[in-house]
Structure 1
Amino acid sequence: MTGTTPETKQNGARPKLTVYLAAPRGFCAGVDRAIQIVELALEKYGAPVYVRHAIVHNRYVVESLEAKGAVFVEELEEIPETDAPIVFSAHGVPKSVPADARNRRMFVLDATCPLVSKVHIEAERLFDRGHEILLIGHAGHPEVIGTTGQLPPGAINLIETNEDAYSFVPKDPSKLAVITQTTLSVDDTREILAILQDRFPDIAVPRKDDICYATTNRQDAVKRIAPKCDRMIVVGSPNSSNSMRLVEVAERAGCPRAMLLEQGSEIDWSEFENIRSLGVTAGASAPEVLVDTIIDAFKERFDVRIETVTTAEETISFKLPRPLRDSTAA
């Protein structure tokens, strides 16, 4: 929605607004790698490059790649017989998908985030040791589908809530293990883990937290600025798990109202009347250009002072698939 704030109408001057810009925000190393895989494949092999599922959960990113020649599908069956590259999304896939691709002799570039792959490997290791596995995550999320699909049906039990943790009945309490989706609320997951460890003292927990560094860092940054903010905007898409968690974290940490927006054109200005402070962050799949559209929209209506609040420095990067490494060297 567009328009001016009532305060601007009354006195003709733009009201002062402090924008607390969270850092880190936006793209993580796994998302950056996944997008780069599609872009480099287009450069090296030409269009089309097929991508199974949205490469990352952001409409702007998907539409930008489509404009360059990427073709997004939900299942391999939608792809005609082709020599073109097939890219698996950053969220990971069940084992049946690469097996199907091999049977059809498809050329695959796997963009699964290495931190998601780490969870897959851990799940297999625990299963091979005879553990009954609990997965803390959200039903239907592509990452959860991919992780459960690493093992035979029924080998992984999904735990979504505290209530699930209280009601779960194991086959053998001494042979339980737990893994987690990488994009969850750190605090929610900690609560569920505490319940499970209280009920089942012998449960095997991850040696290192499965929730990825980027999810943790973005939530920590939001916690730092939320108490200072009259409103908080999280830039991201509704189907982005880590973005939705940032909205929840902001309100729990003391911001009166937090909301998810994809870009500046979606702003409902009635939500921002008489505010003096605004927090802005972005989910791990949201590009910085969308953050810019939000800030630019506020600059048109407010006298904006930006204060960047940094809680961590991120230097992690992940290797590209071997067929594309010579492209980056060139």
Structure 2
Amino acid sequence: MEEKLPKLKRVVLAAPRGFCAGVVRAIEIVNTVLQLLPPPIYVRKEIVHNRFVVERLKQRGVIFVNELDEVPDGATVIFSAHGVSPAVREMARRKNLRVIDATCPLVTKVHLEAIRFAQQGYSIILIGHEGHEEVEGTMGEAPHCTYLVQSVEDVERLQVPNPEKVAYLTQTTLSVDDTAEIVAALKRKFPKIVGPRTDDICYATQNRQNAVKALAKQVDVILVIGSQNSSNSQRLKEVAISNGCPAYLIDGADHIRTEWLIDAESVGVTSGASAPEILVKQVIQRLQELGATEVVEFRLTEERVQFAPPPELRELLEQNPLVDEILPVR
């Protein structure tokens, strides 16, 4: 198969790529809890949407569950970066669970906006993907007045009690361009609609999508490293394709199919916000085996965002006499 790839010469790495601040924080929370508390440690859902990360944590003894009824009363449970609904928090209280909340602060921001709009009597239109954990958590804050839309067509079919009092929110990991189209449709249908004080789509999602847009003009094909259930990774693939460049979502180097690269002289590589850099290095190595001789990085912007650990973890760190030996949680 390698003889069919005489053109492959150059790999261009998109930057920013990979872990965002919320993912770094969530993974470090789990790693720190593993050092501070006795096993077993439970995590509701996947801590982040990446198979490699989840498998590594399973190897360290973390038990992943779908719902809290799988967690023994009184045990320690970590909520994933995607957030949970008030009903989940209430169940944790009933089961007397020790909760460490790894919800991304940017997701928490959307939850607080939903609560505020609901208290003010708005119908809330949430732009997002049905079944995604972040969407389920946000809708759970005000289920009586929240409506989910996934497309412009959904907007056209939408009916609310009072069209004069409508607000919208968005899932943090959506495509910026697709969301803009839906927001425009909402504004046409509900001229008095109000939105969040600042954009809900997270900085990392925007930065990675902007980098892919620019990368699509420079390469023949783009490989996006990320798991299939990663919303932001799926959006990166879609952004590349919509900007005229073939793109494929892969879990890692083993999933590269050489027929994708037959006519490619240059290959772009990026990774979703929950994909670790080790997977990028493995993909580069595989592309070099297939003939690439040059690896360069195309950097669109710098990211310096860091999030503080949740208060319940800070309290644990203060109580632990080995606090200086534990890696800090960014």
Aligned partner of 2:2 in structure 1 is 4
Aligned partner of 1:303 in structure 2 is 292
TM-score by length of structure 2 reads 0.93
Measure the CA separation in 2 of the matches of 1:142 and 1:220. 25
Per mean C-alpha deviation after superposition, the further-off stretch among 158-167 and 178-187 is 158-167
Note the C-alpha offset of 1:82. 4.0
Aligned partner of 1:94 in structure 2 is 85
Q: Secondary structure at the match of 2:293?
A: strand
Note closer, same or farther for the CA distance 1:172–1:270 as it changes in structure 2 (3 Å cut): same
Task: Indicate conservation of the 8 Å contact 2:26/2:102, yes or no.
Answer: yes
Aligned partner of 2:122 in structure 1 is 131
Confirm whether residue 78 of structure 1 aligns to residue 78 of structure 2.
no
Measure the CA separation in 1 of the matches of 2:160 and 2:311. 42
Q: Secondary structure at the match of 2:9?
A: strand
Task: Indicate conservation of the 8 Å contact 2:175/2:239, yes or no.
Answer: yes
Note the C-alpha offset of 1:329. 4.9
Measure the CA separation in 1 of the matches of 2:244 and 2:264. 15
CA RMSD between the two structures: 1.4
Note the C-alpha offset of 1:16. 4.7
Task: Indicate conservation of the 8 Å contact 1:5/1:269, yes or no.
Answer: no
Residue by residue over 1:175-209, the C-alpha shift from the partner in whole angstroms, topping out at 9 and shown as x without a partner, is 00000000000000001101111221110112211
Q: Please list every run of 5 or more consecutive structure 1 residues that lacks an aligned counterpart in the other structure.
A: 9-14
Task: Indicate conservation of the 8 Å contact 1:223/1:249, yes or no.
Answer: yes
Amino acid at match of 2:201: I
Measure the CA separation in 2 of the matches of 1:210 and 1:278. 31
Measure the CA separation in 2 of the matches of 1:183 and 1:306. 28
Measure the CA separation in 2 of the matches of 1:144 and 1:260. 22
Aligned partner of 1:248 in structure 2 is 238
Aligned partner of 2:38 in structure 1 is 46
Aligned partner of 2:328 in structure 1 is none
Note the C-alpha offset of 1:323. 3.9
Residue by residue over 1:133-162, the C-alpha shift from the partner in whole angstroms, topping out at 9 and shown as x without a partner, is 1000000011000000112x3310001001
Task: Indicate conservation of the 8 Å contact 2:10/2:267, yes or no.
Answer: yes
Aligned partner of 1:261 in structure 2 is 250
Note the C-alpha offset of 1:312. 1.4
1:145 to 136, 139, 159: 136
Aligned partner of 1:121 in structure 2 is 112
Task: Indicate conservation of the 8 Å contact 1:50/1:86, yes or no.
Answer: yes
Note the C-alpha offset of 1:321. 2.0
Amino acid at match of 1:101: A
Moved over 3 A (4+): 327-330
Confirm whether residue 203 of structure 1 aligns to residue 193 of structure 2.
yes
Q: Please list every run of 5 or more consecutive structure 2 residues that lacks an aligned counterpart in the other structure.
A: 326-330
> How many residues were matched structurally?
319
Q: Secondary structure at the match of 1:285?
A: coil
Measure the CA separation in 1 of the matches of 2:297 and 2:30. 31
TM-score by length of structure 1 reads 0.93
Measure the CA separation in 1 of the matches of 2:66 and 2:208. 29
Measure the CA separation in 1 of the matches of 2:183 and 2:48. 27
Aligned partner of 2:305 in structure 1 is 316
